[in-house]
Amino acid sequence: MTGNCHVRCGTGENLEITSKGYLLSSFEMIATAMESKRLGLCTKSLFAVPNHLTEQIGDDFQKLYPGANILVATKKDFQKANRQQLFAKIATGNYDAVIIGHSQLGKIPVSRERQVMTIQSQIDDILRGIEELKKSEGSKFQIKAMERTRKSLQKQLDKLEKANQDDTLTFEQLGIDRLFVDEAHEFKNCAKRYA
């Protein structure tokens, strides 16, 4: 299984690792990250793990790869007063991996350009869906629901375009080129929760 994870991850596929035990999936992610770095497929991996496991994953990482240069972020690092310093440390440090808690992932801002692109793509998809429903004489209820969603997204887009941009480093500027999420089911439907 380990070799297969490395091969599939090396092809650029999104990969879900499921196992009955905590250690196996964690070790798989750690080994995949380091193998990806060794092969030149990535330079810096980010691990988002359950908040109570950040130190444990860091310890496991050091057990598997004693020479690895890792950064385990703490709650204190993500306090508002310390966040900029942490982001600068991540961006400028030559880390094999950065380990953060799930709740901390949402505190790393995404660039305005990426947000606009994502929302605009969703709006475009909805508009295409509405057109298809109209052509096939689809349900008026579905069309109205899609219109409401489109209007809500348009409001988000307008608000985003008017917002002042601060000097905070964004996710794209941190140099992270591979993301591993332990217990990824925790993020199911996150777009609905944060909309």
CATH number of the domain bearing residue 97? 3.40.50
Average pLDDT over residues 136-150: 89
As given in the structure block, the two tokens for residue 8 are 């599939």
Confidence of residue 17 (pLDDT cuts 50, 70, 90): low
Average pLDDT over residues 4-25: 51
Report how far apart, in Å, the C-alpha atoms of 47 and of each of 83, 101, 111, 112, 128 are. Answer: 17, 8, 20, 23, 36
Q: Burial-class residue 163 by CB neighbours within 10 Å (0-12, 13-18, 19+).
A: exposed
Confidence of residue 189 (pLDDT cuts 50, 70, 90): low
Average pLDDT over residues 160-182: 84
- β 70-72/97-101 pair status: parallel
Bigger pLDDT: 193 vs 164? 164
Residue 45 and residue 100 in one domain? yes
Range of the domain at 148: 116-162
**CB neighbour list of residue 144: distance below 8 Å, 6 or more residues apart:** none
Q: Are 102 and 48 in contact (CB under 8 A)?
A: yes
As given in the structure block, the two tokens for residue 166 are 């601060």
Residue 55 and residue 88 in one domain? yes
Residue 90 and residue 6 in one domain? yes
Per residue in 82-128, pLDDT tens?
Answer: 999 999 999 999 999 999 999 898 889 888 888 899 999 999 999 99
Query: How would DSSP label each residue in 62-79?
Result: HHH-TT--EEE--TTTTS
Q: What is the pTM for the complete model shown? A: 0.74
Count up the domains in the chain and report the number: 2
Task: Please determine, for residue 2, whether its predicted confidence score (pLDDT) is greater than 60.
Answer: no
Q: Are 180 and 45 in contact (CB under 8 A)?
A: yes
Percent of the chain with pLDDT strictly greater than 90: 52
Task: Please determine, for residue 15, whether its predicted confidence score (pLDDT) is greater than 70.
Answer: no
184-60-42 Cα angle (round to 5) = 65
Q: Are 52 and 72 in contact (CB under 8 A)?
A: no
Residue 158 and residue 174 in one domain? no
Residue 29 and residue 105 in one domain? yes
Phi (first) and psi of residue 100, to 5 degrees: -135, 165
Bigger pLDDT: 165 vs 53? 53
Residue 7 and residue 100 in one domain? yes
